[in-house]
Amino acid sequence: MNEHIVTSYEEELALLDKKIAHMGGLAEHNLGQAFDALERRDPRQAELVVKSDKAIDQFERDIEALVISMIARRQPMANDLRHVMVALRIAADLERIGDLAKNIAKRALAIAHESHPKPLMTGLGHMVELALKQLKAVLDAYSERDAEKALAVWRDDAQIDAMYNSLFRELLTYMMEDPRNIGISTHLLFGAKNVERVGDHTTNIAETVHYLVRGTNVADDRPKSDQTSTTLISHD
Amino acid sequence: MDAIVANPSSATAAAHVMPGSGFKVSARDCNVYYGEKHALKSVSVDIPDRSVMAFIGPSGCGKSTFLRCINRMNDTIPICRVTGKITIDGQDVYDQSLDVVQLRARVGMVFQKPNPFPKSIYDNVAYGPRIHGFAQSRAELDQIVMTSLEKAGLLKEVKDRLTDSGTSLSGGQQQRLCIARAIAVSPEVILMDEPCSALDPIATARIEELIDELRSNYSIIIVTHSMQQAARVSQRTAFFHLGTLVEEGETGHIFTNPNDKRTQDYITGRIG
Amino acid sequence: MTDISMSQPSGSYTVNRKFDITSAEAQGRIRSRYRAEARFKSYGLLALGITSVFVVILLADVFVRGLPAFWQHRLVLDVPVAADAFGAPGSVDAAAIRGGDYYPVTKAALAKAIPGIESRSAERQLNRLLSTGAPDILRETLVADPSLIGKTVKVPLLLSDDADLYFKGAGSKIVSRVPRGIATPSGVTGEVTVLTASNDFADELATIKRALSVRAGGVEREAGRLQRSPDKANQARAVELLEVAKALRARAEQPRGEEPLDADIPSVLVEINGGLVKATKLSDSAITGEVLLPLKSADEAKPANWKIVTYVTPEANRKVNDQEAAFLERLRSLGVVESGFNWRFFTSGDSREPELAGIRGALVGTALTLLVTLALCLPLGVGAAVYLEEFAPKNRLTDLVEVNINNLAAVPSIVFGLLGLAVFLNFFGLPRSAPLVGGLVLALLVLPTIIIASRAALRSVPPSIKEAALGVGASHQQAIFHHVLPLAMPGIMTGTIIGMAHALGETAPLLMIGMIAFIVDVPQSFVESATVMPVQIYLWSDLPEQAFQAKTAAAIIVLLGFLFVMNGLAIWLRKRFERRW
């Protein structure tokens, strides 16, 4: 890609990318730390995550201001126009991801003094691991303007959905076994749901990156693998 | 940049459409030479009726040259040579049997710098109808002048001073007077060669509004250096570069997701 | 773009040097820049000043010489017209009035003004004071009003050129002195002697002796010059001259001797008893001389009643001799000399008599010639300019035509005269000296100028106007004739008028086609013989009569006025029709 004739315009576009990368890194870090706090039942770390979310919010506001000022002052066209619009959308998605990480951290606080069912935590851990991998991949796709990589992320979301489905069933079973487990299970269920939402936002970002690079939307429908909204416990 | 979605109205696709099939102006394989210089290279484009077509591109890219081919204004330059075919409603513009005076009555032109005649406002507008003998009586001529000024959105401002010199108007008013003068001979196509480049933003906005109104009756081709203006007023946009037509398509598409890298570089402010 | 980033200045290129524009050195540079500017300005002013001085000198010279020619002196005399001068009283025929001989009548009127002239030569000299055109003035007066016949008519009669010049100051300085003694003339007319009791003429005699001595010195110097010459004849002549000088010295050194007067020394006259005696011999106490104006009596005159008058300029150096000067002085003292504006200068044609000569013929000739020139040049020049500028294909032929038009503008004008002589007179057989031919020749001369000016004017019309006209469907010709040409018109008119002014001042080509003839009649048509202003000036400047010098300058003033009017017209046209676009 050629450089702009106006150097400061080029610098502003680069700054936008830098902020997105920074914000993405922070969201990634918060999600990892939130699960860590949950797993290790560490309320102090959970609180750190909650606090750090404010920085993500600030990033979003910064990016929004930068985009608005660029639209007003530079009137971006074609790929530049897509670039700034995409940055705005990615920032919104990352902010939601940050919120979801904060939510997990809050649940970690709530269940810090209860015993954890080991197998369930492992399942959730796998899910978080995959979500983080996806998030990192999509941020790489963005910075490398790699539509194929973004498409790969977009396709792999089905895995997270599948893992969430199985975790959902497990938690249901666990709750049915002993009603005393319902408290912690519900929290874990919501945590899992949050991770699944992170995956959805990651998918959104992947679509956005694809639009940025190719100028068109992802042609076919996203594969839907989250079946929990139609799942009921069968009393057979 | 590779196109994953085929653009049905790209220059190459348009070349397969036969001249005169639903388009007002069609050019096929149009070349222009200024002496030794090959100014326009094999341009083929179709311009629909009752819409605005914008030509954009860097200076010296051939967009004005092409515009001036359509009403054979290039004939006035002795060293200029045009090959290929340009048709209006299927009729060849460079056909021997076609009278150039008649052609220019059908294809009006508005120039970069407002160029009213140093005569009264009335005479400016009445000049075309007079030389073509459109009006049988003074009343009829008055009618034509008033209608043209009304259509050009100038009547309200100059109603009481039709005898004042055309050059006494402001720049924007002068340009609208030139548009009224072009409309007065009932053209089918109006060519505009950077009509707002000498005007302030308010006058520019007025002209753009006028172009949008005129769109319902005329086929308008506008050459502009302002991409924002092209984006605002046109339905279709064509990008010229180094004498070739690089890309032509729907304006919204050209300005968000052009197919050609040169187009993208030009409209985003990068050097092609 | 890579090449841009490469061309960005790297550290090695950026020299961190500060330019201090407030340092003493920099201030000095700025001051020297201002000085250079001031110097240049002063050169310009100097050039302008020198030019202005020359212009002022030229104009002042022309005006000082020329302005007196616009005034003329006349004698207002009572001329009695006999009732039966043109046949029986009461039945006067207009043709008879027109055909009458008025010379005797005016002569009689003049004789009445200065009575008592008996000598034929004196009478002739008196009559020569009037212009030969003077009787015509009386004729015109009577033709205009026949009822004056039989009455005494007061008419201003034109003086001859020499008499006119005398009153304009070309005569002599006159010194008159009141003597001490009583003078007695020996007669009233003819040769008389005037005796005085005291030695009243001693001063005059001394003056004349001095003049003789000066003259002797002059002759000696001339003799000395001739002696050095190797030519034998010259040396012989030198010997003769030395003899003459010796005689002169002898006369000059004899203090009391009676001295004869001649035309090379100041004239001494005695005004006595209402008459005037010019001395031919002079001694301390007496003069012998001839009577110029008759005396009333031969009585003794007391000192208060007689005067010694000296005309300081020797008679030989004057146009007007002593007799004529005496008459003119008498006429002046009678109060019949009147000065008035010289309308005749503008209403009559050329003449050999300076006082009768006028420039009307030349003015009309100029007007007719310029009319022919204009009628030919304007359509041809503008047509050619429009064709070359707008329609002509650009090829070798039109290039050749263009180059030649530019060359023609630089061809010496006499060449056009030769062309006119060969083509218009010899080949086509057109009349010689006619305004038609003059106009044709001047048209050839001016045509390139007009074509070049018109082309420049056409080029200065912005092409956008033509494009606008073409854009609404005007044909090429319509665009040019409706829009471009009207806008170029002020420039074309200016160029044309300047070209015409050029033609107005042109002499050389007209000489070749015979417009240099002496033509008295005012031309009435394009094929009659005529002359033009510059040629008239040239002709007059060549004539020997002193009065024509002033006429020449006066004609130059008129020509300059003509030029100013034409150039003023050009400026006015440009201002009037200049348009903004």
Residues of chain B positioned with their CB less than 8 A from the CB of A3: 270
Q: What is the predicted pLDDT for the residue at C199?
A: 79
Please name the residue of chain B whose CA is at the shortest distance from the CA of residue C393: B78
Calculate ∠ Cα C151-C156-C157, nearest 5°. 100
Residues of chain C in contact with residue B189, where contact means CB-CB under 8 angstroms, are: none
Domain ranges for chain A, please list them.
7-230
Best of C472, C476, C484 to disrupt the B interface (most B CBs within 10 Å) is: C472
Taking all residues of chain A, what is their mean pLDDT, rounded to a whole number? 87
Given the candidates 3.30.379.10, 1.20.58.220, 2.60.40.3140, 3.30.1060.10, the CATH classification of the domain at A7-230 is 1.20.58.220
**CA pair distance C266, C206, nearest whole angstrom:** 12
- Interface check for A215 against chain B (CB to CB < 8 A): the answer is yes
Q: Distance, in angstroms, between A77 CA and closest chain B CA?
A: 5
Q: Which domain holds residue C219?
A: 174-314
Residue A208 has pLDDT above 90, yes or no: yes
Q: Within this chain, do residues C371 and C310 fall inside the same structural domain, yes or no?
A: no
Q: Complex ipTM, two decimals?
A: 0.84
Instruction: Please answer yes or no on whether B270 and A215 come within 8 Å at the CB atom.
Output: no
Question: B2 is written with which tokens?
Answer: 């590779």
B139 part of contact set with chain A, CB < 8 Å: no
pLDDT given for residue C14 in this prediction: 62
Per-residue CA distances from C350 to C186, C296, C515, C517, C559 (Å): 50, 44, 13, 11, 16
Contact predicate C473/C379, CB 8 Å: no
Q: Are A149 and A212 in contact (CB under 8 A)?
A: no
For chain B, positions 141-170, list CB contacts with chain C under 8 A: 167
The predicted structure's pLDDT at residue B184:
92
Q: Do B265 and A75 touch (CB under 8 A)?
A: no
First to last CA, chain C: 44
Residue B272 has pLDDT above 60, yes or no: no
Distance, CA of A67 to CA of A16 (rounded, Å): 8
Instruction: Judge residue B244's burial from the number of C-beta atoms within 10 Å of its C-beta, 0-12 exposed, 13-18 middle, 19 or more buried.
Output: middle
Give the Å distances, CA to CA, from C579 to C181, C289, C382, C488: 86, 81, 20, 10
Retrieve residue C514's tokens.
Answer: 């015979």
pLDDT bucket at A230, cuts 50 / 70 / 90:
low
Alpha helices in C202-316 (DSSP H): 202-227, 232-253
Closest residue of chain C to A1, computed from CA coordinates: C1
Can you give the pLDDT at residue C10? 47
Q: Is the pLDDT of residue B9 over 50?
A: no
Nearest to A90 by CA among A60, A69, A62: A60
Shortest Cα distance from A80 to chain B (angstroms)?
A: 7
Write down the pLDDT at residue C13: 66
Percentage of residues in chain A with pLDDT exceeding 70?
92
* Chain B residues in contact with A78 (beta carbon < 8 A): 255-258, 263-264, 267-268
C193 φ/ψ angles, rounded to the nearest 5 degrees? -125, 135
Least Cα separation, residue A205 to chain B (angstroms): 19
Average pLDDT over residues A152-161: 90
Domain contains C98: no
Neighbours of chain C (3+ CB pairs under 8 A): A, B
**Backbone region of residue A215 per phi and psi (left: phi > 0; alpha: psi in -120 to 50; beta: other values):** left
For chain C, residues with pLDDT lower than 50 are: 1-10, 581
Residue among B4, B5, B256 whose CB faces A81 most closely: B256
- Cβ burial, residue A235 (10 Å; 0-12/13-18/19+): exposed
Q: DSSP readout, C6-68?
A: HHS--TTT-------TTSHHHHHHHHHHHHHHHHHHHHHHHHHHHHHHHHHHHHHHHHHHHGG
Taking the CA atoms of residue C30, residue C33, residue C39 and residue C44 in that order, the dihedral angle to the nearest 10 degrees is -130
Measure CA C350 to chain center: 13
Q: Do A4 and B270 touch (CB under 8 A)?
A: yes
B185 three-class SS? coil
**Angstrom distance (rounded) from CA C106 to CA A70:** 109
Residues 187-206 of B with CB under 8 A from C: none
Chain A contact for B257, CB < 8 A? yes
Average the pLDDT over A46-51 and give the result.
Answer: 92
Rounded CA-CA distance C36/C432 in Å is 60
Non-local CB neighbours of A75 within 8 Å, separated by 6+ positions: B228
Tell me if A78 and B269 make a contact (CB, 8 A cut-off).
no
Q: What is the spatial distance between Cα C574 and Cα C581, in angstroms, rounded to a whole number?
A: 15
Pairing label, strands C275-282, C337-341: unpaired
Same structural domain, C256 and C368: no
Judge contact between B103 and B71, C-beta under 8 A.
Answer: yes
Q: For strand B189-193 and strand B219-223, is the pairing parallel, antiparallel, or unpaired?
A: parallel
Please, which pLDDT band fits residue B7 given cuts at 50, 70 and 90? very low
Which residue in the set A75, A78, A82 is minimally distant from B228, CB to CB? Answer: A75
Top-tier CATH class for B11-116+189-267:
alpha beta
Would you state the pLDDT for residue A93? 95
- What per-residue confidence (pLDDT) applies to C252? 81
Domain boundaries, chain B: 11-116+189-267
Cβ under 8 Å to C: B residues 223-262: none
Minimal CA–CA distance to C331: which of C176, C149, C171, C554? C171
Give pLDDT, residue A209.
93
From chain A residues 57-76, the ones with a CB under 8 A of any chain B CB are 75-76
Looking at the structure, do residues C366 and C309 belong to the same domain, yes or no? no
Kind of pairing, strands B52-56 and B236-241? parallel
A82 CB within 8 Å of a chain B CB? yes
Q: Are C431 and C562 contained in the same domain?
A: yes
Q: Does B128 touch chain A (CB under 8 A)?
A: no
A89 versus C315: the higher-pLDDT residue is: A89
Q: Are residues C299 and C388 in the same domain?
A: no
Q: What is the pLDDT of residue B4?
A: 39
Give the residue from B128, B44, B38 showing the smallest Cα distance to B82.
Answer: B38
**What are the chain B neighbours of A5 within 8 Å (beta carbons)?**
269-271
Distances from the Cα of A99 to the Cα of A32, A137, A223, B138, angstroms: 13, 20, 25, 77
Rounded to the nearest angstrom, the minimum Cα separation between A10 and chain C is 11
Chains A & C: contacts with CB separation below 8 Å: 4
Mean of per-residue pLDDT scores for chain B: 86
In C, minimum Cα distance to A5 occurs at C1
Please identify among residues 1-30 of chain A the ones whose CB lies closer than 8 Å to any CB of chain C: 2-3
Instruction: Give the closest of C473, C482, C581 to B104, CB-based.
Output: C473
Task: Measure B99 CA to nearest chain A CA, in Å.
Answer: 43
Q: Find, among C436, C425, C446, the residue nearest to C513 by Cα.
A: C425
* pLDDT, average across residues A139-164: 91
- Please give the model's pTM, rounded to 2 decimal places: 0.74
The string of pLDDT tens digits covering residues A163-196 is: 999 999 988 888 888 888 888 888 889 999 999 9
pLDDT attached to residue A227: 61
Q: Model confidence over B117-153: pLDDT tens digits?
A: 988 999 999 999 999 888 889 999 999 999 999 888 8
Mutate to test the interface with B, among A8, A9, A77 (most CBs of B within 10 A): A77
